[in-house]
Amino acid sequence: MTDKDEKKLWGGRFTGSLSDITERISESIRFDSRLYKQDIAGSIAHAKMLCKIGEISQAELESIINGLKKIESEIESGAFEFLPAREDIHMNIEAALTDRIGDAGKKLHTGRSRNDQVAVDVRMYIIDESKDILILINRLIEELVNLAAAHIDAVMPGYTHMQVAQPVRFSHHILIYAWQLLRDRTRLESAVKACKSLPLGSGALAGVNYKNDREFLKNELGFDEVNLNSMDGVSDRDFVLDFLYFASVLGMHLSRFCEELILWSTSEFNFIRLSDSVTTGSSIMPQKRNPDVAELIRGKSGRVYGNLFSLLTTLKGLPMTYNRDMQEDKEPLFDSIDTVILSLLGMLEMLKGIHINKERMKNAVYSNFSTATDLADYLVKKGLPFRECHEISGHIVNYCEKDGKDFFKLTVKELKQFSPLFDDEITEILDPANSTERKLSAGSTSKIEIINQIETLKSRLGKDIA
């Protein structure tokens, strides 16, 4: 029998055959085949439950389990043939099982629908894939913490509006992304928790005409609770949206990080140098070192945004309960999972070989009046209101710009033109090298606060970072 002649498992009430275009638009096996492990695990649990409630015998259960495990082994070795005419992963596995073990295979779908079957498969898939993603997020946080600790004394300009603002430690800047990733990790954990409400046993939508044991299924598959509304169980895709939202925010964070790596690696900034392993050349300009990996990760953020909006749009007008439109949840999900994993691996590769140009960062701090706020705060401590101090500091900046003066080398005599409160201490105040240690607030850019950040991040990760 050819694939074209494949008898549909649902075909009892039909006499005609499907058109080619209906076959093509209906099949999902080209992408949902990756659910095979979860589909088989769900089917084994369902078979055990059927045996427990007396719907199949122990011998039939053993035959089903052995058959499913053989199919799983063949899929993993590449020997299993997926047939598009069997539409999806569920039908491919069930039909192959029935071909091999006969009537016992036909009993497997008792008290189950593809509607609750796919709902549990996708939940389990997100749970499984999230374990690897969580490991990569933790590794990236570790790399950032290690990078900050290794360069804790490097000082660079901090920016607002892409203008030099105040001196900060490079370690303080780079740890921004560790904190963002920590929040991403929390969002991922929340998305995984949303997956752990069991829909299996809901049937097509109304429940099933068997006294099934959903608590047994919950425990067998490692879920936290049983979904208590069968219609919600088969129609809910909020958990996919939760994951896609996590992926979108993570993609945004990685994109912002990549944008800075791209800027910092330009000859104009020259704060960092990315390794040859993550840069490429030009086909026409031999001098180029293009930050392709950073640019591509930055670009992929738009892709994961699109996946989130794609599914939101698919779901927004659907009546309850299951509709075939929901088949469109998988490709955005799978693509986002693949994109997140690849992007995190790319970030790790970039950080592994990054070179920090401390001298260039230090030199860049001596520009654009980076200690003008320190000067104003100095006058505050002399007793003047901050707004008056701010105005005096602004006049001094204007003086330097008009007369071509070096702000950082102004003499006490020059400064006394603006206020009699200036004394010899101002020389130390103007020097950007001293600015970070004057920051006394918790969470600031001073060295002691950076050390506190590093220790806190290590604690949040739940282990020491070498």
| Catalytic residue IDs | 161, 282
Residues whose CB falls within 8 Å of the CB of residue 76, separated by 6 or more in sequence, listed in order: none
319 in helix, strand or coil? coil
> Cα(252)–Cα(132) distance, rounded to whole angstroms?
20
Q: Across the chain, how many H-helices and E-strands are there?
A: 19, 6
C-alpha to C-alpha distances, 238 to 307, 328, 357, nearest whole angstrom: 14, 14, 46
> Cα(370)–Cα(391) distance, rounded to whole angstroms?
16
> Cα(315)–Cα(453) distance, rounded to whole angstroms?
42
Of the candidates 389, 421, 426, the residue with the CA atom closest to the CA atom of residue 407: 426
CA dihedral 29, 31, 35, 39 (to 10 degrees): -20
> Cα(222)–Cα(36) distance, rounded to whole angstroms?
18
Based on its alpha-carbon atoms, the radius of gyration of the chain, rounded to whole angstroms, reads 31
C-alpha to C-alpha distances, 172 to 35, 77, 151, 177, 367, nearest whole angstrom: 42, 48, 10, 10, 20
User: Residue 12's beta-bridge partner residues?
Assistant: none
User: Which residue type, as a one-letter code, is found at position 31?
Assistant: F
Counting every residue, how long is the chain?
Answer: 466
User: Which residue type, as a one-letter code, is found at position 235?
Assistant: S
380 in helix, strand or coil? helix
Long-range contacts of 314-320 (CB under 8 A, 24+ apart): 315/237, 315/241, 318/235, 320/205, 320/231, 320/235
User: Residue 225's beta-bridge partner residues?
Assistant: 197
Q: Tell me the longest C-alpha to C-alpha distance in the chain.
A: 101
